[in-house]
Each structure stands twice: as C-alpha cells, then as structure tokens.
Structure 1
C-alpha cells in the first residue's frame, strides 16, 4: 500500500509540475498586436499585474514540486531513523504542501478575477473590453487558467497525501483501518 501511495504522489507531482510549467509558459509568452485607429497596440500579460504574479507563483510552485520529486521518498528516508525526526520532516512537508496549494490557488483565482474584468470591461472605471480586439490573447489566457486549475486540484490531492503521511505517524499500527464486525 505504501508503494502505491508513493507512486500516486509522484504521478500527481508530475501532473502538477507539467501543468504549472505549461501555465507559466502560456501566460508568459502570450501577446497580441492589433491596429486600432492607425496605431499599433500590443496586449501582453505584463499589462495585468495578476498575470505577472501568476507567472512567478507558478514558476516557484513548479520548482518546489520538482525539488520534492528529486528528493528521496519520505518513507525510504524514515527507515532506520527515529520517529521524532520523521515527524519533523513530515510536518515540514505537510506545511510546505499546504502553503503551496493555498498560494497557487489564490494566485489563479486572482488572475481569473482580473481576466474576467478584461473580458467584461468596467464602465465605472472606463475599462474597455479587451477580448473584442485581442481574441487570441484572451483564448490563450483562458486555456492557461484552465491548466492552472488542473494543477491546483492535483496539488490538493498532494496535500492530502502529505497529511495522510503525517498523521499515520501518530497512529502507526491501525491508522485508516476499519474495525472488524463483532
């Protein structure tokens, strides 16, 4: 069972890593030029601060997942070590995984909110709708946000696995086992 959990965690980390890298590349290289009233204008991810932040967040989260993948597996490290040192490492991984999930999910929500303002416009602030003029830009940002939410879901499952690995140290013999019928 432990080997299956490790394989699932590695698969989820690879999925999250690939989706985070894909999101960062799609957002980072997205731009479109358009001629408006004889003036060439360019729409870029740098025009929206939430998208700039999203590129940084996704890059850091991808590096974190790559680091976790490249480190030796948790249970292999714990063999032959004291329970206390394993508990410290499990708590560290749990807290870092939780923080990564929250930061990535918040970054994607902020970018989605900012992108929706670009799609719908806001008359009170005299913001125009960009997607009428820059359709390719908007479709690429939309696809990248979808990839980002897939990575967020994968990271939620990773955080659940790290929580399982942490709390089973407190109940090593019968954690998550059903009681037999009497």
Structure 2
C-alpha cells in the first residue's frame, strides 16, 4: 500500500494528504522568505527616499528649504519603514537558516510571538502610509477652506520623491498584511494532530 493511502471501512482507498500538506508548508516557507526580503529592500528604499529628500526654493526672495522633518507624518513614515526593514531582516535570516538546516523547533509560543509581531508591524506600516498619504494630498491640492496653499506647486521635486517613498511604503504595508496571514497559518497549523512537532 502506498504511503498516505488508507482503507475506509467500506474498502475504499482514502488519501490522507500528508505529502500534500508538506508541499503546502514548503511553499508557505518560500513565500515567507521572499516576502520578508522584499519588505526589507522596499522598506530601506522608502526610508532612504523620504529621509534624503530636500529641496530649496525662493519664496518672495526668501530661500526656503523643504525636508521630511517638516512634516510629522513623513517622520513617522521613515521610522515605520526603518523598523519594518530591520524586523524583516531579522525574520528573513531566521527563515533562511530554517530552510538551510531543514528543520527548526517551531512551538506555539514562538509562532504566537511572530504572529503578534507581524500583526503589529502590519498595523504600524498601514497607519504610517495612511498618515503620509493624507499629508501628501493636502500638499498637492491644498485646502482652500482653511487657506492652505498647494505646497507641491513650490516643491515639485520634493513632492515627487515623497510620492515614490509613499508608493514603496504602500507595497511594504501590503507585504506585512500578507505576512500576517502566513504567520497566522503557521500558528494555527500547530493546533491539531501536528502540534508540538519539529518543523522542517
């Protein structure tokens, strides 16, 4: 009888799916590694784009310099992306070592910690992108009711680069949301027949 095949009370072959489950877990591990390294790269890119962005312009013969620290939402965006990149680097190394060794002790406590951290990072990156996007909209279109002018008319290059940083940050936040789903899978698969085993 082939592995993974059993016989039901009615003498009908039944496939238990052990090999299929291992293949799914392997794909989940590969996806997790790829996502964590992509988030690391885009997080560094987003933080660098925004943090290094400056532009000097003349307003009524006065020289004004725009930088990311002038907007608290952009400071939050840079910090959130830096944290996400650092966290993804650490977790990416853990995943890579796990795949190289072929097995790693993966108990419920560790899975719960990783799941919780992924959830927190997903919320933080989404909040940072939302705050920065709101500030960017105000900078691009202004607010006539409050007599806020369109600042991006004066700092076009600065705003364009910030937009690139926000776009990269948005991809980072989507990646963190996807990772929180994968870590949920890694956590909840430990409940049931396979709990407490060493994971390959």
Q: TM-score range by the shorter chain?
A: 0.7 to 0.9
Structure 1 segments, 4+ long, off by >6 Å, are none
Show CA shifts across 1:68-99 (max 9, x none): 112243982227xxxxxx01111111011011
Task: Tell me whether 1:144 sits opposite 2:165 in the alignment.
Answer: yes
For 1:155, the equivalent position in structure 2 comes to 176
Q: What is the root-mean-square deviation in Å for CA atoms of aligned residues? A: 1.7
For 1:27, the equivalent position in structure 2 comes to 50
**What is the CA–CA distance in structure 1 between the aligned matches of 2:65 and 2:193, rounded to whole Å?**
59
Show CA shifts across 1:146-165 (max 9, x none): 11111111111111110001
Query: TM-score scaled to structure 2, two decimals?
Result: 0.78
Higher relative contact order (CA 8 A, sep 6+): 1
- The Cα shift of 1:33 comes to 0.7
Which of 103, 106, 123 in structure 2 is aligned with 1:76? 103
More strand by share: 2
Number of residue-to-residue matches in the alignment: 167
- The Cα shift of 1:133 comes to 1.0
Map residues 87-102 of structure 1 onto 2, 5 A cutoff. Answer: 87-102=108-123
Helix, strand or coil at the partner of 1:127: coil
Q: Unpaired segments of 5 or more residues in structure 1?
A: 80-85, 174-182
Query: TM-score scaled to structure 1, two decimals?
Result: 0.86
Rg larger in 1 or in 2?
2
Does structure 2 retain, via aligned residues, the 8 Å contact 1:6–1:73? Answer: no
**What is the CA–CA distance in structure 1 between the aligned matches of 2:89 and 2:103, rounded to whole Å?**
18
Does structure 2 retain, via aligned residues, the 8 Å contact 1:24–1:55? Answer: yes
- The Cα shift of 1:172 comes to 4.0
**What is the CA–CA distance in structure 2 between the aligned matches of 1:25 and 1:164, rounded to whole Å?**
32
For 2:73, the equivalent position in structure 1 comes to 50
**What is the CA–CA distance in structure 2 between the aligned matches of 1:168 and 1:52, rounded to whole Å?**
38
Helix, strand or coil at the partner of 1:32: strand
Q: Unpaired segments of 5 or more residues in structure 2?
A: 1-22, 195-200
Which of 8, 14, 17 in structure 1 is aligned with 2:40? 17
For 2:4, the equivalent position in structure 1 comes to none
Which of 19, 26, 31 in structure 2 is aligned with 1:8? 31
